[in-house]
Structure 1
């Protein structure tokens, strides 16, 4: 099983709040691994990030975008069994553009589709069911979740939930951000930009139950933005990016709170390969965790750079200020079969980075 995750600025905490969180982390178990290859004066070598067995060669601006696509904020990424990379972006162009763009492993354009999701592009995940793979799409503008073929043919679409009762109020926003897959063939939908509930559906899209709501206490969330089925210890559970609460929150498959992981800053989405959990963090870094959810390394992390990124969020619209080997606002990230990492960022021009594993 393979899974991958309006404006995020609505949910960004103040710089002061972040610096307090990040400062405490740095003082504890966190540290800023150096960017290797920094002495390449001519800039001919891609920078390396990470350390020990987790070093990656970084290529920013990966993928040859066709002329008919003008990147908006690149929100989601997933990889299918054939190694094709699917990017979901949110364009602000007046004329609808395809929201999903597909590349091969070398970054060559393959196809695009999904004009109906224009302006709402967000989460995208791929799942194999029997002998066929399907995309699961989250649309924050139109308030829908859709299941499609790998070329965009719609299997079903699900709109606004009927429960809890407050969804019956037209003023209550419903804005699904990402999906996690259940072992029984069903799936979970996070209303990350709406009422902060998580909804469980059957495999054919029928509602089963829900939990959550806005709050800071255990079981409550503020922006359940991305989710993932975590089976690394043998017991399936749902890991949720409880983003505005600066934590990951774990739940049983029936929605009971299990625990927290606090060594994150502003987590956006999750991917897992083997024993390694990958968390894209909107606060300028990508983090790898081991099986015990201990930090292995923060890829691209530097506190001074993070301070610049969070100072009014101006840099997200200033590509000329971006530094090689640094991230601005990672919104999603996923592994391919070879252990390489693709990162998509919430920046005005869109950006895809490929992190090629070198150790």
Structure 2
């Protein structure tokens, strides 16, 4: 595998937000008696008031995903076709914006190919995966995987996210369609597929996730199974390693930070209660939750995790997150009243 291919969720974000906490100090001091402290133990955070809020010239609808490039610029994906991609600096100020053709913009990843960084965008409404430059030039467009024989038409295919290997291969999670997981090479050739109902992947399941390369063995797919309230660990060819139950959750994405995983939950009782709200869980290497940011403290009885709930009402529906090198967390929210992303500053070093 080439070392030139790096996935943004495995980056060491050296260049990102080195002075972010100092920048927001005045806001934090002025608001510290009003803004809540979220989380437990060493994973406690306070929101930074006003970060990333723009004017009516740069609107958002659903804010679905965020990534950071090697220069520390923060890319937000929204399904607002006035400006699908909004690029912030670390102070939360607008640098540029682009994109008018992604009405179902949903998943976003950034990959370093050695000589350049590129974006992968999934669109639920267009039933496609797009590879673009950081300025929006489309480099590759993937339609539905007709050769699998699993799809009568492209309308059955609604890709949620992409996950990337160091050699350029990538997986597409059809989390809003028929729940298959497809593996492609860097040129976009379909190599393999698995999952779906016959593969033990329930509907409204494979929404997002990460490739975990921390172990001594082969890398694993770790899949956020959204409405199933579970995380699945799979081999790269789809064999089940472990299923982790997370009652009271709705995991949408995963980021690895050292020995921990950060998981945004859309809500604590979704889809039964569309008014229910979400939170963020922090899991250790054993997949035990050590903090719920914006949620109730995790409780285990005889080793079994008890149902979790949002607490305090700060979040609406977290859909993705970026954790910076200084511990700050950036959270885009879906179905949340056209709100901009939020920033959380750590109360202490994690």
- Unaligned stretches of 5+ residues in structure 1: 5-39, 310-322
Q: Give TM-score scaled by structure 1 length.
A: 0.77
Residue 267 of structure 1 is matched in structure 2 by 251
Residue 209 of structure 1 is matched in structure 2 by 192
Residues 223 and 233 in structure 2, CA contact (< 8 A), matched pair in contact too: yes
1:54 lines up with 2:39 in the alignment: no
Residue 147 of structure 1 is matched in structure 2 by 131
Q: Give TM-score scaled by structure 2 length.
A: 0.79
| Displacement of 1:348 | 2.6
1:191 lines up with 2:174 in the alignment: yes
2:321 to 325, 333, 350: 333
| Displacement of 1:340 | 1.3
- Shift in alpha-carbon separation, 1:351–1:214, aligned structure 2, 3 A: farther
- Shift in alpha-carbon separation, 1:259–1:285, aligned structure 2, 3 A: same
Residues 172 and 195 in structure 1, CA contact (< 8 A), matched pair in contact too: no
| Displacement of 1:172 | 5.1
Residue 109 of structure 1 is matched in structure 2 by 94
- Shift in alpha-carbon separation, 1:308–1:71, aligned structure 2, 3 A: farther
Residue 110 of structure 2 is matched in structure 1 by 126
Residue 224 of structure 1 is matched in structure 2 by 206
| Displacement of 1:308 | 10
Quote the RMSD (CA, aligned, Å).
2.6
1:301 lines up with 2:263 in the alignment: no
Q: Distance in 2 between matches of 1:107 and 1:130?
A: 27
Q: Distance in 1 between matches of 2:83 and 2:31?
A: 37
- Unaligned stretches of 5+ residues in structure 2: 1-5, 10-28, 268-277, 298-306
Give the count of matched residue pairs: 302
| Displacement of 1:163 | 3.4
Greater than 4 Å deviation, 4+ residue runs? 40-45, 217-221, 306-309
Residue 68 of structure 2 is matched in structure 1 by 79
- Shift in alpha-carbon separation, 1:41–1:340, aligned structure 2, 3 A: closer
Residues 296 and 309 in structure 2, CA contact (< 8 A), matched pair in contact too: no
| Displacement of 1:325 | 6.6
1:234 to 185, 200, 216: 216
Residues 60 and 324 in structure 1, CA contact (< 8 A), matched pair in contact too: no
